[in-house]
């Protein structure tokens, strides 16, 4: 993998952050509708699709260990490829009798890979761009992350709803997971050439003990900050309501009126829930 210092950041910042958004949205939102379509109970959907999202919360715990190996570019490219392959395996698992067990397991792989990708992708961004350039491209980060949300939770959900009548529920969602797989694999191959290295492995982190020491120092320093308790409360409460409804809203929109829902078809959910809100955010940024 060559180090492409001369590549304009516009060639890789949008695509890296698009690749961050796609697996997160596919697992946190799209999978809810997919499993509901395929007859999985709401209780199972809410529990397991919430559980597999934990790597994105816990990713700081293994971020120091990435400093021991290779380059940040290596982890970005590798995790995008792993994520793409895992999406493909999710697609192939859907026709199986025990599809839910296999699909959730592969999604767990996607979650860990996606969270690791976020660490490495942010690392490339912070390492390769100075403060001025970081400020310049921060809008591109948010815009393309949310474009991934529009495509995945809007466009692909709409496509799944449109395909269900012609090729059946299972094959419709196989197509959607296959598209996610293809996008991630293509992005991985693209970043082999277009992504700068993000620096070599840190000389300060050579062993597991070094990584543990770095992690402890980060945690200790964080909790020594002034007013840290108030900061933590703000972080938790800022999106507290959204966290509660993220899994439930799609199920509520899809459930029949006799079950207390709105009875919307998947196509309309893709447009209303997956497109309009995210599109407004992108335009506002």
CA-to-CA dists, residue 158 to 17, 230, 269, angstroms:
23, 41, 7
The pLDDT tens digits of the residues spanning 106-151 come to 999 999 999 999 999 998 998 888 888 888 888 888 888 888 989 9
Phi, then psi, of 234 in degrees rounded to 5: -65, -45
The model's pLDDT over 195-246, given as tens digits with 9 standing for 90+, comes to 987 766 555 666 667 667 776 777 778 778 888 888 888 877 877 776 666 7
What is the average pLDDT value for the chain, to the nearest integer? 85
Q: How far apart are CA 12 and CA 194, in angstroms?
A: 6
What pLDDT is attached to residue 257?
Answer: 84
**149-161: average pLDDT:** 90
**What is 90-153 written as a DSSP string?**
HHHHTTSTTHHHHHHHHHHHHHHHHHHHHHHHHHHHHHHS-HHHHHHHHHHHHHHHHHHHIIII
pTM, 2 dp: 0.83
What confidence tens digit (pLDDT) does each residue in 235-283 have? 778 777 766 667 777 877 787 887 777 878 888 788 877 777 666 666 6
């Amino acid at each position: 993998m060559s180090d492409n210092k001369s590549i304009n950041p516009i060639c890789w910042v949008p695509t890296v952050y698009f690749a961050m958004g796609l697996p997160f949205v596919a697992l946190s939102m799209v999978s809810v509708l997919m499993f509901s379509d395929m007859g999985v109970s709401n209780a199972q959907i809410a529990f397991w699709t919430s559980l597999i999202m934990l790597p994105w919360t816990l990713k700081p715990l293994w971020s120091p260990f990435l400093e021991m190996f290779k380059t940040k570019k290596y982890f970005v490219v590798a995790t995008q490829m792993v994520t793409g392959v895992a999406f493909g395996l999710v697609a192939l698992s859907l026709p199986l009798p025990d599809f839910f067990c296999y699909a959730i397991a592969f999604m767990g792989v996607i979650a860990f890979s996606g969270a690791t990708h976020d660490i490495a992708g942010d690392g490339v961004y912070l390492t390769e761009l100075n403060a001025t350039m970081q400020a310049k491209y921060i809008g591109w980060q948010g815009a393309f992350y949310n474009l991934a949300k529009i495509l995945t939770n809007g466009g692909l959900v709409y496509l799944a709803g449109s395909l269900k009548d012609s090729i059946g529920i299972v094959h419709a969602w196989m197509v959607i997971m296959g598209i996610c797989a293809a996008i991630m694999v293509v992005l991985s191959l693209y970043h082999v050439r277009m992504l700068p290295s993000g620096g070599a492995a840190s000389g300060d982190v050579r062993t597991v003990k070094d990584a543990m020491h770095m992690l402890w120092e980060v945690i200790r320093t964080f909790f020594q900050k002034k007013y840290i308790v108030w900061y933590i409360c703000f972080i938790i409460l800022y999106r507290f309501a959204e966290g509660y409804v993220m899994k439930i809203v799609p199920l509520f929109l899809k459930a029949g009126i006799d079950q207390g829902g709105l009875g919307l078809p998947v196509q309309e959910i893709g447009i209303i829930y997956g497109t309009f809100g995210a599109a407004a955010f992108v335009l506002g940024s």
